[in-house]
Structure 1
Amino acid sequence: MGTFQITGGKKLKGNIIPQGAKNEALQVICAVLLTDEKVTISNIPDIRDVNKLIDLLADLGVSIQRQGPGSYSFKADDLNLDYMTSPEFKEKGGALRGSIMIVGPLLARFGKGFIPKPGGDKIGRRRLDTHFIGFQKLGAKFRYNQDESFYGVEGKKLKGADMLLDEASVTGTANIIMAAVLAEGTTTIYNAACEPYIQQLCKMLNSMGANIKGISSNLLTIEGVKELGGCEHRILPDMIEIGSWIGMAAMTGSEITIKDVCYDELGVIPTMFRKMGIKLERVGDDIHIPAQDHYEIENYIDGSILTIADAPWPGFTPDLLSIALVVATQARGSVLIHQKMFESRLFFVDKLIDMGAQIILCDPHRATVIGIDKQVPLKATTMTSPDIRAGISLLIAALSADGVSTIHNIEQIDRGYQNIDERLRAIGAEIVRLD
């Protein structure tokens, strides 16, 4: 188990370039299974979850060539579908939540797709019903082996259908889209997720020959086509990482410029951090955060404390609530953090309380943070990262704390953040990786 040792209290300064978006990468890499022609994808982040998915596709028979840093070509023209029932596949697929999104393209192109119950963050229930109900609407038959926790869908000829998703699941929407693009007839998806990741997937599929309309809305209309071809696609910068760097700059009182952020794709993220008192300005397609000794959380116009809650896009992404929470601990003022989607994602706050933060955990979904306005720095401590987003939040807390902190289980952070220790050292952080 890897460990970070962080000496806090250092002001950082410089430019940082965000990696490619992890969540988009997991979707568009699975989409290469929809064609036997070459697909080239650039700006792929070099992180554990994405690398595991690339390895899984290689084992499935996809020909993969590295074109350069972050750039790969994929050609799925000679797949071994029997691999999906092998013990090795069950082990590898079960270790990666993103593996669920290979099912839709395999079902569309080959009439069957299998996957073990996927792993991932321990942040509460993340059910898969939306995926499989959508496949069934398209005419596939679903089966589940409870003893082996193994899912399967089969359907020789999918047909378009009208469907209302029971939740605006990002991965569920992506999976159903990839199944529907090769289905016969028209598919309409109501309550579809419309995050930038989904928009990017749809644009990529259209460049391959798909016919998807309603991109960026909650209603998608898909006219099925007989086959798809190759394409070239570039992944957006990771908006979760961009939000993480904004929070880090505020907590450490640092002056940082985040380069090439694709600002127009960030939605309400800059606005939400401004509500927390963080000064940030757009400079071309960069975000500049000046050094701030203090930042003050806005109240509502009647004087009541601000609530920051997650919501489907274009609402505030749940992946940044942990960042907002840790940033609030050093703000002037109070805020209620309401994590609606996952019931275990706030349980890391006990580590922040140990560091001196004033937080009341109301229930599994809500926490009230009383900001201490940097009057007393957080205290260094020893922590363990429970998941990706809590892990980066604890790392940000450690960078602002007084003394030397230790974070164990940093493999969780590595799942979502590329070479994070090297990139932080480049702007002045004192962080050491220990094996």
Structure 2
Amino acid sequence: MGIFKIEGGVTLKGEITPQGAKNEALQILCAILLTPEKVTINNIPDIIDINKLITLLGNLGVKIQKNGAGSYTFQADDVNVNYLETDAFKKEGGALRGSIMIVGPLLARFGKGYIPKPGGDKIGRRRLDTHFEGFINLGAKFRYNKEEHFYGVEAPEGLIGADMLLDEASVTGTANIVMAAVLAKGTTTIYNAACEPYLQQLCKMMNAMGANVSGIGSNLLTIEGVENLGGCTHRILPDMIEIGSWIGLAAMTRSEITIKDVSWENLGLIPNVFRKLGITLEKRGDDIYIPAHTDGYQVKTDIDGSILTISDAPWPGFTPDLLSIVIVVATQCKGDVLIHQKMFESRLFFVDKLIDMGAKIILCDPHRAVVIGHDFKSRLKATTMSSPDIRAGISLLIAALSANGTSTIQNIEQIDRGYERIDERLRAIGAKIVRA
């Protein structure tokens, strides 16, 4: 396993460009299975999870051509659906959370889709009920092998449009159901649909392929089924989670950093939440400029003076993927913050590593933590730690970059799953980080 050696306490300076959005790419790559025609996708991040999915598509028989950095052309005109029932697929599909989203397009186009229990971050239970209830509503038959944890849906006669109310606004669940519904007969309505920018991107891409999806950006989607879809060219948005990570990095290292080409209109509440922590963000065209916070940053209390609470919620609420970053940033603020992680019951457990570094954090329960800010009067201490998941991993990396001394982070493959060449890009703005 690889490690990062990080010399902390170094002030950074310069420009950094966010990679393409991991969570959008996982959806978009699965959607290429909806058509036998060529689909070109640009701004694909070069990270472990995405590369695993591209390999999986290749093993399914998809023709893959790399056009250049971040650009691929795919053609799914000779898909081997039988591969889904092989031991190789059961192992491969089980290693990647995003593999669940191949089921919708395969079911729509070939009448069947199978998947082993998907892997991914160990951040608590991540239910799949919404996906399969949606497929059942469209007329698919569901089966589950408990011994092998293997899911299957079949609709040999094709899918039929239906009205449905999702039990939760699941992003991947909505994406999977929409991809199935675009080739179903008749009209499908999905209420309580997720409306994240990445889901909007998926719908816009499918419309460019000839689908008929309306209500994009709202929680009520209407899909008029079509007989087939064609090819298109699509560009993936910048990764909002990485943008939030760089904001946190700038604040914790008190560095002057410009984040380039962030697509401000797709950031939602992210800038406002960091401003509540006292961080200065300037909009310069489509860039974010963050000045060096040499005097620290003051948390804003609620109107009645009560402690600031930051919690996650479905879009347009604050994304849960950035709460780990917020916790780290709050360790050096002026003031106190209550973090309420509602969606996953194991995501806050990494704070014990921050406590070992000297952070003042009270873990109230699996979902809530109170962070008492140091105001840089007491710096975090360097330590040796292991990255438990993607988002906790990047948070610990930011903590290490701000700490006194040299830290070691183990299990950095977790960070590489979601962040492209992160050590190279950090060194370009002055960070002292070595991969070993």
Query: Fold conserved (TM > 0.5)?
Result: yes
SS in 1 for 2:313: coil
Distance 2:97 2:265 in 1: 28
Distance 1:402 1:248 in 2: 15
Distance 1:97 1:310 in 2: 21
Kindly provide the amino acid, as one letter, of the partner of residue 266 in structure 1.
Answer: L
Partner of 1:184: 185
SS in 1 for 2:115: strand
Partner of 2:380: 378
Deviation at residue 236 of structure 1 after TM alignment = 0.1
1:259 counterpart = 2:260: yes
SS in 2 for 1:332: coil
Distance 2:365 2:2 in 1: 31
Partner of 1:286: 287
Q: TM-score, normalized by length of structure 1?
A: 1.00
SS in 1 for 2:407: strand
Partner of 2:132: 132
1:88 counterpart = 2:88: yes
Partner of 2:307: 305
State the Cα deviation string for residues 77-132 of structure 1 (Å, max 9, x = none): 00111110111100000000000000000000000000000000000000100000
Partner of 1:114: 114
Alignment of 1:187-202 (within 5 A): 187-202=188-203
Q: TM-score, normalized by length of structure 2?
A: 0.99
1:268 counterpart = 2:269: yes
Partner of 1:173: 174
Partner of 2:103: 103
State the Cα deviation string for residues 210-249 of structure 1 (Å, max 9, x = none): 0000000000000000000000000000000000000000
Q: CA RMSD in A?
A: 0.4
Partner of 2:236: 235
State the Cα deviation string for residues 267-306 of structure 1 (Å, max 9, x = none): 1100110000000100000000000020011101111101
Partner of 1:209: 210
SS in 1 for 2:304: coil
Distance 1:47 1:213 in 2: 32
Unmatched 5+ stretches in structure 1: none
Deviation at residue 21 of structure 1 after TM alignment = 0.0
Distance 1:66 1:146 in 2: 38
Alignment of 1:409-428 (within 5 A): 409-428=411-430
Distance 2:57 2:305 in 1: 54
Partner of 1:28: 28
Deviation at residue 405 of structure 1 after TM alignment = 0.3
Distance 1:187 1:429 in 2: 50
SS in 2 for 1:336: strand
State the Cα deviation string for residues 27-70 of structure 1 (Å, max 9, x = none): 00000000000000000000000000000000000000001100
Deviation at residue 209 of structure 1 after TM alignment = 0.3
> How many residues were matched structurally?
434
Partner of 1:74: 74
Unmatched 5+ stretches in structure 2: none
Kindly provide the amino acid, as one letter, of the partner of residue 67 in structure 1.
Answer: N
Kindly provide the amino acid, as one letter, of the partner of residue 153 in structure 1.
Answer: V
SS in 1 for 2:373: strand
Aligned counterpart in structure 2 of residue 394 of structure 1, from 393, 396, 399: 396
Kindly provide the amino acid, as one letter, of the partner of residue 425 in structure 2.
Answer: R
- Which 4+ residue blocks in structure 1 deviate beyond 2 angstroms? none
SS in 1 for 2:174: helix
Deviation at residue 433 of structure 1 after TM alignment = 0.4
Larger displacement relative to structure 2 (42-51 or 79-88): 79-88
SS in 1 for 2:335: strand
Distance 1:266 1:272 in 2: 11
State the Cα deviation string for residues 119-166 of structure 1 (Å, max 9, x = none): 000000001000000000000000000111100000121000000111
Kindly provide the amino acid, as one letter, of the partner of residue 224 in structure 2.
Answer: E
Distance 1:191 1:5 in 2: 45
Distance 1:8 1:56 in 2: 38
